[in-house]
Amino acid sequence: MQLDSITLPDDLLWTNEFDWNPVEQTLDRSLTGALLVQEQALSYGRSIVLSGGTEAGWVTRATVQSLLGLSQDPNKVMTLTLADQRQYSVIFDRQSVSPIEAHQVMPFAYPDDSSFYALTVRFLTVPST
């Protein structure tokens, strides 16, 4: 799995792959009480949450620092290539929580660049640039 030049573990799971509804729908009532339905296909904005939980998808501290460096660049469009070779243009999803969560697998007071972290990364699909 690849995010631009950063290699991510292939055992990260796309935890919300089937939670997305590709059609937006609004319902309203007319003055006569009739139901008015409008639907439109969505082009972008699909959420991609990659996580290995606590048992998979571990990365080194150096990888976490590289991801944090990418996340500090506003409006950065990146190419995400999944393990099955599907590609998406993505940005970090900063809506509700941090786009990157990393927790030490074995807690140390002074971890080094080779210490392992359990990773969760959140993206939104966008048009390619």
Domain that holds residue 105: 2-15+44-125
Beta strands in the chain (DSSP E): 2-3, 6-7, 13-14, 23-29, 35-41, 47-51, 58-60, 78-81, 87-92, 100-104, 116-125
Q: Is residue 89 part of a domain?
A: yes
Q: Is residue 32 part of a domain?
A: no
Q: Is residue 76 part of a domain?
A: yes
Q: Is residue 29 part of a domain?
A: no
Q: Is residue 24 part of a domain?
A: no
Q: Are 112 and 61 in contact (CB under 8 A)?
A: yes
Q: Is residue 90 part of a domain?
A: yes
Q: Is residue 28 part of a domain?
A: no
For the chain, what is the mean pLDDT? 93
Specify the number of domains making up the chain: 1
Q: What local confidence, expressed as pLDDT, does residue 125 receive?
A: 96
- Cα 17 from Cα 36, distance rounded (Å): 30
- Among 90, 3, 81, which residue's Cα sits nearest to residue 44? 90
pLDDT in tens, 34-75: 999 999 988 899 999 999 988 888 999 999 999 999 999 999
The whole-angstrom distance between residue 12's C-alpha and the CA centroid of its chain comes to: 11
Q: Is residue 38 part of a domain?
A: no
Residue 122 has pLDDT above 80, yes or no: yes
- Cα 105 from Cα 122, distance rounded (Å): 20
Cα R_g (the chain), whole angstroms: 18
